[in-house]
Copies of this chain bind each other. A is one copy, B any other.
């Protein structure tokens, strides 16, 4: 396979697909819209999971597991939820196959038809609230703070690896509270956790905001979102946290006896991030040479490549490399010493560049003589010669520096791509020529939002939490507006 990638400026979409394939992150399977997450891609996802899981537990949440299949009737119980989720989905109708009677191989056994069809979960509110009815009686049982790591399925028509797949992996938090205020606080807290994770670990700046009514989760009263900006100027919704009011409690009859002895419906939230974050990670930092990974999520943080001609040189360099490996591992740094003799150094350089390994150490015979090593940064593609005895310290420092640099670069790009506009002409021009977030006044109506979407494909990504109160007129309708919202084309 050629290691050469399509350039971002030539075809961003093709570039993305090539990176995902060539960096061995994922591939399409033989099943429509369903991906195989390959070991290298999965190792990144595992690092994301580990950090998120830790943050969830530190904020008081516990993990549990609920069934994959949900009876069809459960979806009908919450009116807006059914419209949003029970349409494009995988439906289990039978529970047995048999050998066909006319030698046509195995066929569905029509005698094994389910009385009620089962749906592969597109999200688990319904089955979880069906359990919560049994778990919650008194205010003493609240809050209930539960998270689930699971696979879910939505029958998407047009799929793209990580960004939109029929099956994807995610976590879904589902919490129950005694008061409205507490539930809202929880939904906002988890938005904060997501933002912190995105910025601290993914080195991906995000804007925190709320969704407009038409972009809300089906069944939510408010959806809190974090929105990131990709290098092609399109936005990506990276995580959402929903205040569900008492909708699911009412649909599933979940009541509790309050401190004052009154029977009340429970207040709810749900929140989730998915393997979509893998797509966001790729598109935020990578370049025309391949994947670029922030050190905190890189499965391999440092790779050592030996450069040698003779067996003797190979042995001597290996000894030094093993020693460096050991020292770095002591500091908790993940190192790979690629001592394969079947591949040339140039091939290895290209391979680890493509795979986004943050730092590469190359050691040749002359380095050995001089007590040096060559250290190459993936983010800046710069090289430096470092004394071997200073290597571990330099590397520790550089890993921090790279993490910060990636964030700063993405942040500067994002800041350069938030444009205030005051007319619809300007709106369209910025959208076409520059892309990014467009900060504009909007009259607050779904009609205007829809019309703008029809005309430009831009949607309101969010009403930023920190939006200033400001007198203005809607960029489309000319009606009054009190704050700017962010529009963008989006993944």
Q: A residues near B, CB below 8 A?
A: 27, 29-31, 34-39, 42-43, 46, 62-76, 82, 86-98, 105-106, 108, 117-120, 127, 130-131, 134, 140, 146, 150-151, 153, 155, 167, 169, 342
A36 touches B76 (CB 8 A): no
CB-defined A-B contacts under 8 Å, sample of 27: A27-B131, A30-B130, A34-B68, A35-B67, A36-B64, A36-B65, A37-B64, A39-B62, A39-B63, A39-B146, A42-B64, A42-B65, A43-B62, A68-B120, A72-B97, A72-B106, A76-B105, A76-B106, A87-B96, A87-B98, A90-B94, A91-B95, A91-B97, A95-B155, A96-B155, A97-B119, A151-B151
A64 touches B90 (CB 8 A): no
Asked, given contacts A86-B106, A95-B88, whether A131 binds B36 with beta carbons under 8 Å apart, the answer is yes
Asked, given contacts A29-B131, A62-B39, A98-B87, whether A68 binds B108 with beta carbons under 8 Å apart, the answer is no
- A342 CB contact (under 8 Å) in B70, B87, B97, B140: B140
Asked, given contacts A31-B127, A43-B63, A127-B30, whether A167 binds B68 with beta carbons under 8 Å apart, the answer is yes
Task: List, in ascending order, chain B residues with CB within 8 A of A93's CB.
Answer: 91-94, 108
A127 touches B37 (CB 8 A): no
- A63 CB contact (under 8 Å) in B42, B71, B75, B117: B42
Expressed in whole angstroms, the minimum distance between the Cβ of A476 and any Cβ of chain B is 33
- A148's nearest neighbour on chain B, judged by CB, is B42
- A82's nearest neighbour on chain B, judged by CB, is B106
Q: Assuming A29-B67, A29-B131, A69-B167, what are 17 further A-B pairs, CB within 8 angstroms?
A: A27-B131, A29-B130, A30-B127, A31-B71, A31-B127, A36-B64, A36-B65, A42-B62, A67-B167, A68-B120, A68-B153, A88-B95, A90-B95, A91-B92, A91-B93, A91-B95, A93-B93
Task: List, in ascending order, chain B residues with CB within 8 A of A155's CB.
Answer: 95-96
- A117's nearest neighbour on chain B, judged by CB, is B108
> Residue among A71, A92, A94, A120 with the most chain B CB within 10 A?
A92
Expressed in whole angstroms, the minimum distance between the Cβ of A131 and any Cβ of chain B is 5
In the bound complex, CA of A74 to CA of B82 (Å)? 33
Expressed in whole angstroms, the minimum distance between the Cβ of A318 and any Cβ of chain B is 19
Task: List, in ascending order, chain B residues with CB within 8 A of A119's CB.
Answer: 97
B89 touches A97 (CB 8 A): yes
A31 touches B118 (CB 8 A): yes
Task: List, in ascending order, chain B residues with CB within 8 A of A64's CB.
Answer: 36-39, 42
Task: List, in ascending order, chain B residues with CB within 8 A of A91's CB.
Answer: 92-97, 108
Task: List, in ascending order, chain B residues with CB within 8 A of A90's CB.
Answer: 69, 92, 94-95, 118
Task: List, in ascending order, chain B residues with CB within 8 A of A36's CB.
Answer: 64-67, 131
Expressed in whole angstroms, the minimum distance between the Cβ of A58 and any Cβ of chain B is 14
9 tightest Cβ-Cβ pairs between the two chains A and B: A39-B62, A34-B67, A37-B65, A91-B94, A95-B155, A93-B93, A90-B92, A39-B64, A29-B67
B127 touches A69 (CB 8 A): no
B108 touches A31 (CB 8 A): no
In the bound complex, CA of A62 to CA of B44 (Å)? 12
Expressed in whole angstroms, the minimum distance between the Cβ of A114 and any Cβ of chain B is 9
In the bound complex, CA of A491 to CA of B72 (Å)? 33
Task: List, in ascending order, chain B residues with CB within 8 A of A146's CB.
Answer: 39
In the bound complex, CA of A86 to CA of B93 (Å)? 15
In the bound complex, CA of A108 to CA of B90 (Å)? 10
Task: List, in ascending order, chain B residues with CB within 8 A of A86's CB.
Answer: 97, 106
Task: List, in ascending order, chain B residues with CB within 8 A of A342's CB.
Answer: 140
A69 touches B38 (CB 8 A): no
Expressed in whole angstroms, the minimum distance between the Cβ of A474 and any Cβ of chain B is 35
- A134's nearest neighbour on chain B, judged by CB, is B27
In the bound complex, CA of A89 to CA of B94 (Å)? 8
Task: List, in ascending order, chain B residues with CB within 8 A of A42's CB.
Answer: 62-65
Expressed in whole angstroms, the minimum distance between the Cβ of A144 and any Cβ of chain B is 9
Task: List, in ascending order, chain B residues with CB within 8 A of A167's CB.
Answer: 67-69
Task: List, in ascending order, chain B residues with CB within 8 A of A43's CB.
Answer: 62-63
- A146's nearest neighbour on chain B, judged by CB, is B39
Expressed in whole angstroms, the minimum distance between the Cβ of A237 and any Cβ of chain B is 22
A31 touches B67 (CB 8 A): yes
Expressed in whole angstroms, the minimum distance between the Cβ of A438 and any Cβ of chain B is 35
In the bound complex, CA of A65 to CA of B46 (Å)? 11
- A46 CB contact (under 8 Å) in B38, B63, B98: B63
- A40's nearest neighbour on chain B, judged by CB, is B62
- A61's nearest neighbour on chain B, judged by CB, is B39
Task: List, in ascending order, chain B residues with CB within 8 A of A67's CB.
Answer: 29, 31, 34-36, 167
Task: List, in ascending order, chain B residues with CB within 8 A of A127's CB.
Answer: 29-31
In the bound complex, CA of A262 to CA of B91 (Å)? 46
